[in-house]
Structure 1
Amino acid sequence: MTEQTIYEFIGGRDKLAELAEAHYRRCTTDPELSKVFGTTPRPQHAAHLADWLTEVFGGPEVYTEKHGGHQALLRHHAGKHIPEEARAAFVTAFIAAADEVGVSDDPHLRKRLVAYLEWGTAIAKDVSNVDDPEVLVSDQPVPKWGWRDEESPA
């Protein structure tokens, strides 16, 4: 039997869209995160996040097809100058959103989610200090995050 992807285990695109909505709401209302995200919601942001998470966790390659893949995501973070406090708050808000929408509290899943979030937010924080998005060039595909450490790009 083939092991389920994290995407499948979480509940697929619908559950990730619900998670992205709950998380993004926190990003625009949390005092630390709103410094980066603002307080006026951008409807497309949660949908883009859901597309990203879908692809990262082993679902269809929708972020690449719709939004330009890994390089596009890197460039979206350019010039944001994300402080460490916001990076950490992003992780906390994501886990709270997962609890809110009923993502499984399976310990291994939660460990892998936190590992991905720590890894991904560190990259976002680093590239956010680059002011010119054009210098952020990547021919790498969207990273795929699996159940085992050796499957992940970290």
Structure 2
Amino acid sequence: MKRIPRGTLQEQTFYEQIGGEPAFRRLVHRFYEGVAEDPLLRPMYPEEDLGPAEDRLALFLMQYWGGPTTYSDNRGHPRLRMRHAPFTVNRAAHDAWLRHMRTALEDLELSPEHEEQFWHYLTYAAATLINTDDEA
């Protein structure tokens, strides 16, 4: 029986399969380039510099997809709904967030299977964060 070397596709996490930290950092950086110019989303980031938010999202996504646990080590349980509760997340914010994330995801040029899997998660996560029916 031929032994499969360690680190082959079957044993790799999604995080490793798409390129590890550099891929996630590129994705999130591209996403925040869009957020920085978005009149609806930018006010949800009170920090002058989007760098801390960019770092938090990158660490969260890396951990979720099988990378290092740095996010939880530093911030505890993600508690996404609780962390987003102070902000009005309506359908318009949801749509804007996904629009910027879609652009960022397409820029990564993942395989169709990886892109579909990632996009499925992002659309699910965005929907769970809607906390108001208000359109404003």
Relative to the length of structure 1, the TM-score reads 0.70
Q: Is the 8 A contact 2:60 2:78 kept in 1?
A: no
Per the alignment, residue 7 of structure 2 pairs with none
Q: Does 1:27 align with 2:35?
A: yes
Match of 1:49 among 51, 57, 81: 57
1:72-111 map, 5 Å: 73-100=80-107, 103-111=108-116
Per the alignment, residue 72 of structure 2 pairs with 64
Runs of at least 5 residues in structure 2 that lack an aligned partner in the other structure: 5-9
Q: Distance in 2 between matches of 1:98 and 1:118?
A: 12
Q: Does 1:116 align with 2:124?
A: no
Deviation at 1:41, TM superposition (A): 3.2
Identity percentage over the alignment? 25
Runs of at least 5 residues in structure 1 that lack an aligned partner in the other structure: 130-154
Counterpart of 2:122 in structure 1: which amino acid?
L
Against the structure 1 CA distance between its residues 105 and 13, is the aligned structure 2 distance closer, same or farther, given a 3 Å change threshold?
Answer: closer
Q: Which has the larger radius of gyration?
A: 2
Q: Distance in 2 between matches of 1:107 and 1:15?
A: 15
Per the alignment, residue 140 of structure 1 pairs with none
Per the alignment, residue 15 of structure 1 pairs with 23
Runs of 4+ residues deviating >4 angstroms: none
Deviation at 1:39, TM superposition (A): 9.1
Q: Distance in 2 between matches of 1:49 and 1:26?
A: 14
Deviation at 1:38, TM superposition (A): 6.2
Q: Is the 8 A contact 2:32 2:50 kept in 1?
A: no
**Counterpart of 1:76 in 2: which secondary structure?**
helix
Relative to the length of structure 2, the TM-score reads 0.78
Against the structure 1 CA distance between its residues 68 and 74, is the aligned structure 2 distance closer, same or farther, given a 3 Å change threshold?
Answer: farther
Q: Distance in 2 between matches of 1:37 and 1:90?
A: 13
**Counterpart of 1:15 in 2: which secondary structure?**
helix
Q: Is the 8 A contact 2:36 2:50 kept in 1?
A: no
Q: Is the 8 A contact 1:87 1:125 kept in 2?
A: yes
Per the alignment, residue 148 of structure 1 pairs with none
